[in-house]
Amino acid sequence: MNKTAIAKELIREHGLYTHSRSREIVYKRYFLYAQLRDDMTYQAIGELFGKDHASIVHGINIHKAWMAINDKVYLKYTKKIKEDYETKVMNGYADKERILVRVDDFFQDVASINVRMRVNRDFLEKLYEVNTFQELYDVYLQTLE
């Protein structure tokens, strides 16, 4: 799951797509603005929240100021969304790790098949024509038949 998808999910879960100026909502928005800034433009972040880029810049600056002094109120209100954000990001990395393990297993299977079988010209020609993992997987399935 990419950060944009995570942000959309958190915006929905925490009710942040609103014009509310309640402290809890504003602080959570500011926290997410700052987290998304590494990967997104101010304008793109603003589109997620229905805000203009100047609001995003202001929110990020306020977030940095409060974090610099470890503002207890700010930390209290952003604790839950921070935990949710970190959990979702870590789950995304875990998903990527599972995919990488599956791809590695796949290549090990292909290697063992190549060792066990007599490699014929048709198979090699198909292998050189492969451009995507899906095509490679299809060639792999054909070798199992």
18 pLDDT band (50/70/90 cuts)?
Answer: confident
On the question of pLDDT at 114 being above 90, the answer is: no
On the question of pLDDT at 31 being above 70, the answer is: yes
- As a whole number, mean pLDDT of residues 82-87 equals 90
* 29 within domain boundaries: yes
Higher-confidence residue of 96 and 91: namely 91
115 pLDDT band (50/70/90 cuts)?
Answer: low
Q: What is the DSSP string of 85-125?
A: HHHHHHHHHHHHHHHHHHHHHHHHHHHHHHHHSPPPHHHHH
Please state, in angstroms and rounded to a whole number, the distance separating the CA atoms of residues 48 and 38: 15
Please state, in angstroms and rounded to a whole number, the distance separating the CA atoms of residues 116 and 12: 52
* 37 within domain boundaries: yes
118-128: pLDDT as tens digits? 555 566 666 66
pLDDT above 90 as % of the chain: 45
pTM of model > 0.85? no
* 22 within domain boundaries: yes
**pLDDT at residue number 127:** 63
On the question of pLDDT at 106 being above 70, the answer is: no
* 121 within domain boundaries: no
* 71 within domain boundaries: yes
* 62 within domain boundaries: yes
92 near 1, Cβ under 8 Å?
A: yes
Domain that holds residue 57: 3-78
On the question of pLDDT at 93 being above 80, the answer is: no
78 pLDDT band (50/70/90 cuts)?
Answer: very high
Number of compact structural domains in the chain: 1
* 133 within domain boundaries: no
* 11 within domain boundaries: yes
76 pLDDT band (50/70/90 cuts)?
Answer: very high
CATH number of the domain that 64 lies in? 1.10.1750
